[in-house]
Structure 1
Amino acid sequence: MSQTTPSVSRRQLLQFAGLGAAGLMLAGCMPTGGSGAAAPSSGTALAPGTFTPADFSFSSWSLTEEAAAPAIKALLDGYKKKDSVGITEVSFPYNEYFKQLMLQVRGGQFSGAAHVDVAWLASLAALGKLQDVSAFTKDRGYTASALEAAQYDGVQYGFPWTIGAIGLVTNSELIQKAGIDEFPVTIDEYEGALKKLKGLGGGVIPYAASTKAAQLKDILIWMETFGSPLVKDGKVTIGDDASVEAVTWYKSLYDQGLIAADVDRFDARSLFSQGRAAIYDDAPVGRNTVVKDSPDPKLGEKIVSESRPVLKKGDTPRALVWGGAIVVVGGAGDDATGTAADFGQWSTSDLDAVLGDYEVRGLPPVTEEAQASDIVTSDAFGSRFAEKVTATATVNPFWQYPEYAQVETAVADRVQAVLVGQQSPKDAMAAAGEAAQKLIG
């Protein structure tokens, strides 16, 4: 089956990322009554110069990650020195972060600035406690597409921090050792290449694909690669021939030892950094993480991003939009809230702050000035990633539904059942599609 999803411009797909994003429907976390549209913010829009610098809290899952935490702490230290304020750090591991943030915001236990995935904006906005930060984003040089990615229902609820995609990252040295002269274009060629990589021996995992339930949502991009739209005209298509073929193929990779059991994104990074995996899925942020943790001082020179293989030549390679933003929680007239907004503006648009962070984490910046800087344009990995991965990225079609995370969990659980031999791909995907349809209505 060929890929049928129409191409969209980068501006369009980022707009969809902001306007179509929605988060996990936690019991008691969403307002009751109504259609689920965003509730009003907690006050009028914030404005620069209307507050006295004050201490505030900053929340980010990156503070729990060994490779990313130093860069975030350096950013916080830079702002503390700039305005002589204190910043309380709040953090949870990524797989727990959204649930914990939602609970704390709803319960009034958190106020300040929070690092969020752009897919979560709708759910957080629906709590009625996010601030409109449009006065702080005005004339700061953000690209139009980046601003749109941090909006919901036409309101600028976030400062865009980084916008990119998730795609394949490879160890070019292992690829070459396996005798693979050119990275495979089609699924069949890709499986052949994985077999060659397995032939290297030494315990090398050809493709450190996600196989833990927490990250098995990655299978959705392979379903799209096989031709399933996932959702069409409001109807879930999982259970169609394409999705069954994708999961059957994934299971075959598992049975052949071309992918491994019990792997999530963090496991994959560790395996890749140790030279024990040749290919895995990640966003650009993964580069610095694996390089920092690797015993190979030259690993950074060997990391190459590649387009995801397609079902047949001529299809468009699939990739998933990925992005982060900073939102502000609190009362509009509160000095701490104003300071949190000022921090959001500074950390995402001040050229020195942005480029300093880029040099450490390598995340795509969101201002025109930063994107045009020598540091960014001379980054070979970043440029190739943008060309090979981000250029054809699209959003998860389930993001438009408040129950999207529950849908992903329902699908992941059924895929895991296939991997361990508890269900056939056909039965499992039929069950997954039915569960997903019930969730979105």
Structure 2
Amino acid sequence: MNVRLTRRSALGLFGLSTLAACAPSTSAPTPAGTEGLKDDGVKEFPLTSWSYNEAVTKQPMTDAIAKYTSANAGVKITTPSYPYNDYLNQLLLQVQGGQLTGAVQLDVAWLATLAATGKLLDLKSVATGLDYAPAALSLGQSGGAQYGLPWTFAGIGLISNQELLTRAGVTAAPKTVAEFEAALTAVKGLGGGVVPWAGMTKVDQLKDIIPWMWEFGSPIVQDGRIVIGDDGSVEALTWYKKLYDQKLIAPDVNRVDARALMSQGKTAFYEDAIGGKATVTKSSPDKDLGAKMVPVARPVKNAGDKPRHLAWGQVIAVVNGAGAAAAANFAKTVTTDRAYTIDWFTKTGLPPTTNAGLADSAVKNDKFATDFTAQIGANSSASPFWIYPQFSQMEKVLAEEVQSILIGKKTPKDALNSARDRMNALIK
């Protein structure tokens, strides 16, 4: 498929209209306000991130900071960084302890949680009049405030190794769950240590089960209450456990493990955000692997159903404190100026969130990006848990109960009923 991204279609394909309808909304405390955005003369601030901790993004971020400080006399940016899986806890400890200020990179899933600290500044005055796609701007909104400026957005979905599938005799992307199972079974027949699907089985990323529960008909959250344990979620986990028992997916796999398997040519499918390709290809001994990686729409239960994917994106927020105005100016520049956004896309594969950026030829002419957005981004929705500041505890509960299913400690019905009751108890 060769999808052409126009200015208008780019916005739709990146799933921005879907996210706008599902953007996190919570009764978070009143934001720190806009007083901190008045220039206090302080030009030194930290940019806290996880990207500075990862090989693929560290150098591009270093380049962006160097470009910015060179163009803005007197500005100095420090770069504290934490691994992604520890990042939210570290941020909360630092912010609540009054030890962190400046710009912070945030996963969109974390916005309501950080907003609940009351330490994030409302950046509405900064964002007004800029070229952000309107729905992209909603990435950084919670409780009526603009807590973050959107940096990138897509979704999380399946990526295949087309060469392995061809060797296994799979000539077309599976469109239904039944076709997906048949493809996995064919790949298993290749032997040689190949894992048909590097699905998530470690507790730290079992939240990936959410869109599969959607596909099997569960709304997950309804009328403000968790409703898993319903027929759709039980059917989804019964199916997932079957694949686990048949060794079509492997035990003890998280995103890092899955990327390693794809990098080594040892899995036909894994799930990732759009930027995962750069990580995989950078560490692969196969220099042609990138051309073999093809985005695949999530297989549906019944032909004609709509594929569902979890939305994914990043914003830059500003924590109240000295240098906040300088940090906000940096956030505005690197998320809107094409000298930064297109360079970031070219080096990392992470798409911009402005109309001009999405219309740039670098984005339109990247086949993987256009295919990914057509197959995955166009059908991405926010997690139903993101509206709750307690979302991370809720996802942990779900993951623990799903793991208990995989290892045979509980039945799908019992585990999901337990997860439902434990998660509803967290809602305040």
TM-score, normalization by structure 2:
0.93
- TM superposition shift of 1:63: 1.5
Question: Which residue does 1:198 correspond to in 2?
Answer: 188
Counterpart check, 1:14 vs 2:37: no
Q: Distance in 1 between matches of 2:180 and 2:275?
A: 24
Question: Which residue does 2:9 correspond to in 1?
Answer: none
Q: Distance in 2 between matches of 1:325 and 1:436?
A: 27
Distance 1:65 1:137, change over 3 A: same
Stretches of structure 1 lacking an aligned partner (at least 5 in a row): 1-7, 23-35
Decide which of 419, 425, 428 is 1:438's aligned counterpart.
Answer: 425
Decide which of 315, 330, 341 is 1:354's aligned counterpart.
Answer: 341
Question: Which residue does 1:227 correspond to in 2?
Answer: 217
Counterpart check, 1:300 vs 2:282: no
Q: Could you give the per-residue CA deviations for residues 218-247 of structure 1, whole angstroms, max 9, x where no partner exists?
A: 111111111111011223221112111111
Q: Distance in 2 between matches of 1:188 and 1:356?
A: 41
CA contact (8 A) 1:136 1:341 kept: yes
Counterpart check, 1:338 vs 2:325: yes
Question: Which residue does 2:118 correspond to in 1?
Answer: 128
Identity %: 44
SS at match of 1:68: helix
Counterpart check, 1:318 vs 2:308: yes
Stretches of structure 2 lacking an aligned partner (at least 5 in a row): 1-12
- TM superposition shift of 1:91: 1.0
Counterpart check, 1:37 vs 2:8: no
CA contact (8 A) 1:169 1:281 kept: yes
Q: Distance in 1 between matches of 2:166 and 2:368?
A: 18
Distance 1:121 1:17, change over 3 A: farther
- TM superposition shift of 1:392: 1.2
The CA RMSD over aligned residues, in Å, is: 1.9
Decide which of 343, 349, 353 is 1:366's aligned counterpart.
Answer: 353
SS at match of 1:369: helix
SS at match of 1:399: coil
Q: Distance in 2 between matches of 1:14 and 1:226?
A: 21
Counterpart check, 1:106 vs 2:111: no
* Amino acid in the other structure paired with 2:306: T
Q: Distance in 1 between matches of 2:201 and 2:295?
A: 21
Question: Which residue does 1:393 correspond to in 2?
Answer: 380
Question: Which residue does 1:419 correspond to in 2?
Answer: 406
Q: Distance in 2 between matches of 1:204 and 1:106?
A: 45
Decide which of 136, 144, 157 is 2:134's aligned counterpart.
Answer: 144
Decide which of 83, 89, 111 is 2:72's aligned counterpart.
Answer: 83
CA contact (8 A) 2:34 2:123 kept: no
- Aligned pairs, number: 416
Question: Which residue does 1:68 correspond to in 2?
Answer: 57
- TM superposition shift of 1:10: 4.1
CA contact (8 A) 2:18 2:379 kept: no
Q: Distance in 2 between matches of 1:414 and 1:319?
A: 21
Q: Could you give the per-residue CA deviations for residues 328-356 of structure 1, whole angstroms, max 9, x where no partner exists?
A: 1123xx4x211111110111111111111
Counterpart check, 1:271 vs 2:261: yes
Q: Could you give the per-residue CA deviations for residues 159-193 of structure 1, whole angstroms, max 9, x where no partner exists?
A: 10011111111111111111111111111111110
* Amino acid in the other structure paired with 1:428: A
* Amino acid in the other structure paired with 2:18: L
Q: Distance in 1 between matches of 2:15 and 2:275?
A: 19
CA contact (8 A) 1:166 1:282 kept: yes
CA contact (8 A) 2:15 2:154 kept: no
Q: Distance in 2 between matches of 1:378 and 1:58?
A: 31
Q: Distance in 2 between matches of 1:323 and 1:123?
A: 16
Q: Distance in 1 between matches of 2:421 and 2:65?
A: 46
Q: Could you give the per-residue CA deviations for residues 288-347 of structure 1, whole angstroms, max 9, x where no partner exists?
A: 11010110010111111010000010110111111100001123xx4x211111110111
Distance 1:241 1:18, change over 3 A: closer
Q: Distance in 2 between matches of 1:308 and 1:53?
A: 48
Decide which of 197, 203, 206 is 1:213's aligned counterpart.
Answer: 203
Question: Which residue does 1:59 correspond to in 2?
Answer: 48
TM-score, normalization by structure 1:
0.90
CA contact (8 A) 2:36 2:320 kept: no
Q: Distance in 1 between matches of 2:263 and 2:298?
A: 21
Question: Which residue does 2:391 correspond to in 1?
Answer: 404
- TM superposition shift of 1:38: 2.4
* Amino acid in the other structure paired with 1:63: Y
SS at match of 2:170: coil
- TM superposition shift of 1:12: 4.4
- TM superposition shift of 1:44: 2.5
Question: Which residue does 1:174 correspond to in 2?
Answer: 164
Q: Distance in 1 between matches of 2:174 and 2:83?
A: 35
Q: Distance in 1 between matches of 2:15 and 2:295?
A: 19
Q: Distance in 2 between matches of 1:53 and 1:381?
A: 42
* Amino acid in the other structure paired with 2:327: A
CA contact (8 A) 1:414 1:432 kept: yes
SS at match of 2:417: helix
- TM superposition shift of 1:16: 4.4
Decide which of 82, 99, 119 is 1:92's aligned counterpart.
Answer: 82
CA contact (8 A) 1:39 1:127 kept: no
Decide which of 170, 173, 177 is 1:187's aligned counterpart.
Answer: 177
CA contact (8 A) 2:176 2:302 kept: yes
SS at match of 1:113: strand
SS at match of 1:90: coil
* Amino acid in the other structure paired with 2:51: S
* Amino acid in the other structure paired with 2:218: S
CA contact (8 A) 1:211 1:264 kept: yes
* Amino acid in the other structure paired with 2:37: L
* Amino acid in the other structure paired with 2:362: I
Q: Distance in 2 between matches of 1:149 and 1:291?
A: 28
Q: Distance in 2 between matches of 1:284 and 1:56?
A: 29
Q: Distance in 2 between matches of 1:235 and 1:126?
A: 20
Q: Could you give the per-residue CA deviations for residues 42-63 of structure 1, whole angstroms, max 9, x where no partner exists?
A: 543626xx45461110111112
Distance 1:117 1:378, change over 3 A: same
- TM superposition shift of 1:202: 0.9
